[in-house]
Chain A
Amino acid sequence: MITARRLLAWGDLDDRRRRAARRSPLARIPSWLVSALAGVALGAELYRRLVGEGDPAGALRLWLALTIAGHVLILFGSPHRLYWRRDSPLLARMPIPGRALFVLALVRSARAAARVALASALAALAFGPELGWAMVGRLELLVAVAALGAGGLGPAAALIAGAVVASDRAQAVLGELAGEFKAPRTSWLGIVPGVAGSALVVALVLLTPWAAGAPAEGARVPVLLGVSLGLPVLAALAALARADRVIPAALREVSALDQERLAHIDRVGASRLERAWFRALRSAGARLVAGKDSALTRRRFPSPYFIAPTGTAVLWLMAWLGGDRVVPWASVVLFGMAVYAVLMARRLVAPPVEIPRLMATLAIAPADARAAKRAAVVLRALVWIAPGGVPLALAFPAAWAIAAAALAVAALGALAALSSSEG
């Protein structure tokens, strides 16, 4: 039987080859170096706010917002590391123990969490000279909580979700409870990690006042810290014990369901807004590619078309409700959407939305195809960030800079991701 170590070695080899195949030098930069550079850049911005603007509270809010957003995204990615990898249909048919597959997902989640944690930990050093190294130590502990939660709790939550998806009995019970509102089976792969992610966010928010220097009252902080650090480890160990029984069935079921779901897609085309935006493209080839990309993206990856309006509605609600802590939380939403916009940009240059081999044989200039994809990511950045960010900034002037930064991350990050993937 193949072991997790061997699976990991094969997976790493595949990843290395895929990275090496990309022609863009940007794609070949080691991911830990990118994390370190991001951490240094964030640290510089924090230091500017601390020393230049004399705004330690603002600096701390920014650091916390980005730390939470980064780690929660890693946690939400757990089902992708366990079930929705491109090799899942193959792995599901192989005689591979569930334990090995779970350890593989666990290691990959831990690596991803470690990369985000590296950036957060480096950035936190910026607080040292002004606010003291004791506070930096507490912030680093907060990073450890976030990283453990993302790296350990995420795969465990994904395993539980997979068990629910694969179990007919669980589906029958849930079906009876939900009645006509019964969700598709695979939606549990979003719901369960979503609950785990919310728990992680709550833990980090509750620990923040202590990390910022507020006195700890009674045993609350030690208990919270103990639970936050211990629960992911216990959850991962418990999941490991059940992995042999759960994962093979869940992997088969999710792969099959995913394929079935994809076979029955909504045959939508580009939205009205997209069609209007793409009319500004000069060449017919660019307009053709843009229309094709939008139709395929809406069919294959419909979630952004749901998440973006939801995020905007949340920002409107925040702007309307007001309060002291709106801006940091709105920052989390804005930057979460910005990062998602960057991730979605990569979808535009890979199958099933793009087939480079086919495109190379068609009478469409590569420059036109690039223009189409750039227009799409710029539109997405504007539509995802501006409608929510502007009302928020009107209500809270401090949010102007945050909304502008989120817009810049969404647009420039997506353009960079496109350029890196196109080589």
Chain B
Amino acid sequence: MSEPERSEASDGERGRQARGSTDRSKTEAAVLEVRDLVVTYGKRVAVDKLSLSVAAGEIVGLLGPNGAGKSTALAAVAGAVAPASGSIAIGGTDLAGDPLAARARTGFADQPPSLYDSFTVAEHLEFVAEARGKPDPAAQRALLEELGLGSVAERTCRELSFGMRQRVGLAAALAGGVDVVLLDETLNGLDPRAAVAAREVLTRAAAGGAAIVLSTHLLGVAERLCRRIAIMDRGALVVDMSGAELEALIASGAGAIEELYLANVSDAPA
């Protein structure tokens, strides 16, 4: 088999080093450690040597154009897609070496959410939490209430609207007290009240020590919820900004993240 084609992002002019991320390779309290992750679909490189460390309590907004590799990267970290190379560690546990232990600490809400349609919402959560080895009916019930799903807990997933399915996906990702939460456009399609509830739940989860990576196209959500912004383009991480630098950018005025985004992503998909 021939060497996979590299996207333009891997070429010299942009480089692999993401803007604002010079010393992120060894975050001390990192719960999620991704090193040189490469995912390919045939000859196409979907994720190109992605390195990302996320600490406990951190909420990372993962931005990027359609086809940038965000969903693939999250799926690979969740164990749903096999990487071509690179390493992924969850709380120090190597995903390839001990996948079950790593998965037990990871929650993933994919797009569209993978739900057992003939299960009720409560049953789906119960199954997922039990699979993670931490069933806690009271905590699951409380989570559903917090996300405004208490009234539909006994309805089958098939009967739910798009926004409700998104919320069930979010609840399933959080069920079982996971350390790493991966959300692939999970906050899209939520009504304003549900969006506020989801943000509060995620903020509390982060305060409780979870490391959260949220892929989204909603720049406003990223600005309000995330204390760190990572932008992917053509499979590579091109911006990784947090702390004072990000706060200063946001303080500089409305639309600052949008400008950062537009300045760093290419016009055409890979």
Please list the residues of chain A having a beta carbon within 8 angstroms of any beta carbon in chain B.
262-263, 265, 267, 285, 288, 292, 295-296, 299-300, 351-352, 355, 357-358, 360-365
In contact, B108 and A296 (Cβ under 8 angstroms):
no
Q: Which residues of B contact A262 (CB under 8 A)?
A: 117-118, 158
Nearest B residue to A351 via CB reads B117
Q: What is the CA–CA distance of A362 and B135 in the complex, to the nearest angstrom? A: 13
Q: Which residues of A contact B123 (CB under 8 A)?
A: 295
Contact partner of A361 (CB less than 8 A), chosen from B101, B106, B115, B156, is: B106
Q: Which residues of A contact B119 (CB under 8 A)?
A: 292, 295-296
Q: What is the CA–CA distance of A288 and B130 in the complex, to the nearest angstrom? A: 8
Interface presence of B58 (CB below 8 A): no
Q: What is the CA–CA distance of A78 and B115 in the complex, to the nearest angstrom? A: 30
Nearest chain A CB to B132 CB, angstrom units? 5
Q: Which residues of B contact A364 (CB under 8 A)?
A: 100, 131
In contact, B118 and A352 (Cβ under 8 angstroms):
yes
Q: What is the CA–CA distance of A299 and B123 in the complex, to the nearest angstrom? A: 13
Q: What is the CA–CA distance of A265 and B128 in the complex, to the nearest angstrom? A: 21
Q: Which residues of B contact A295 (CB under 8 A)?
A: 118-119, 123
Nearest chain B CB to A357 CB, angstrom units? 5
Q: What is the CA–CA distance of A292 and B130 in the complex, to the nearest angstrom? A: 11
In contact, A358 and B114 (Cβ under 8 angstroms):
yes
Interface presence of B133 (CB below 8 A): yes
In contact, B130 and A357 (Cβ under 8 angstroms):
no
Nearest A residue to B105 via CB reads A363
Contact partner of B118 (CB less than 8 A), chosen from A299, A357, A358, A361, is: A299
Interface presence of B110 (CB below 8 A): yes
* Chain B 121-153 per-residue mask, 1 if CB under 8 angstroms from chain A, else 0: 001000110111100000000000000000000
Q: What is the CA–CA distance of A352 and B117 in the complex, to the nearest angstrom? A: 7
Q: What is the CA–CA distance of A339 and B205 in the complex, to the nearest angstrom? A: 50
Interface presence of B165 (CB below 8 A): no
Interface presence of B70 (CB below 8 A): no
17 residue pairs A–B, Cβ–Cβ below 8 Å: A262-B118, A263-B156, A288-B127, A288-B130, A292-B116, A295-B119, A295-B123, A296-B116, A299-B118, A351-B117, A352-B117, A357-B110, A360-B80, A361-B106, A362-B103, A363-B131, A364-B100
Interface presence of B168 (CB below 8 A): no
Q: Which residues of A contact B120 (CB under 8 A)?
A: 267
In contact, B116 and A361 (Cβ under 8 angstroms):
no
Interface presence of B159 (CB below 8 A): yes
Q: What is the CA–CA distance of A247 and B25 in the complex, to the nearest angstrom? A: 61
In contact, B100 and A361 (Cβ under 8 angstroms):
no
Interface presence of B104 (CB below 8 A): yes
Interface presence of B79 (CB below 8 A): yes
Which parts of B68-120 form the interface with A (CB within 8 Å)? Answer: 75, 78-80, 100-101, 103-104, 106, 108, 110, 114-120
Nearest B residue to A368 via CB reads B100
In contact, B116 and A362 (Cβ under 8 angstroms):
no
In contact, B80 and A357 (Cβ under 8 angstroms):
yes
Q: Which residues of B contact A363 (CB under 8 A)?
A: 100-101, 103-104, 131-133
